[in-house]
Amino acid sequence: MAFCFLGHVNRLSMRVAADERLMAQFSISPTKMGTVYTAFLVAYMLCMTPGGWVIDRWGPKKALIFFGVGSAVLEACTGLGGYGMATSAMALASFLMIRTLLGVANAPLHPGTSRMIPLWIPVSQHGWANGLLQGAAGCCIAGVSIIFVYLIDWFEWRWAFFILGAVM
């Protein structure tokens, strides 16, 4: 459940930071910022099937460790995006690269958690376990905007990403 929650934090935190600070700071248009959001989702989608192959080959535990470590490092690296960049195009390119890699790291999340359920949970509890996973994702979607806005207000956007990376 924690991984599902944090995986959706990865998806939504950039949108919150962009709306609150990034687009104004780096003079990035909403359309160009949309390419950053899309980069995450396309990488996530393209790597989900290979992520499933990795899970079948090496097991869901190793794939979820990859997800956890990769997510933590790349979420923190998002705070470094655009740092010292001379132009908005360079800042945009840095965010594109970081968020694409984050999409790759997030790809084994749902196949891995779905594979863990039959390995760890009795058959009679599979529905309940899957419901808890989806509930964790829904709770994140409902709350991440509020929580992350407060982090940005209290610590600025770069530190908010560093904090998320440390929490993961």
> What is the phi-psi region of residue 28: left when phi exceeds 0, alpha when psi lies from -120 to 50, beta otherwise?
beta
Q: Which residues span the domain enclosing 76?
A: 2-167
Asked if residue 100 has pLDDT above 90, the reply is yes
> How confident is the model at residue 7, as a pLDDT?
81
Report the pLDDT averaged over residues 80-105: 92
Q: Which of 23, 7, 139 is nearest to 81 (CA)?
A: 23
Read off φ and ψ for residue 45, nearest 5 degrees.
Answer: -65, -45
Helices (H), 109-156: 109-120, 126-155
Asked if residue 168 has pLDDT above 80, the reply is no
Quickly state the pLDDT bin for 27 (edges 50, 70, 90). Answer: very high
76 and 165 Cβ atoms separated by less than 8 Å: yes
Asked if residue 111 has pLDDT above 90, the reply is no
**What pTM value is reported for the model?**
0.88
> How confident is the model at residue 139, as a pLDDT?
83
- What CATH number is given to the structural domain containing 113? 1.20.1250.20
Count of the separate structural domains present in the chain? 1
Q: Which of 149, 114, 136 is nearest to 7 (CA)?
A: 136
> How confident is the model at residue 105, as a pLDDT?
92
Work out the mean pLDDT of the chain and round it to a whole number: 89
> How confident is the model at residue 45, as a pLDDT?
93
Which helix (H) or strand (E) segment holds residue 101: the answer is helix 88-106
Read off φ and ψ for residue 85, nearest 5 degrees.
Answer: -80, 135
Asked if residue 46 has pLDDT above 90, the reply is yes
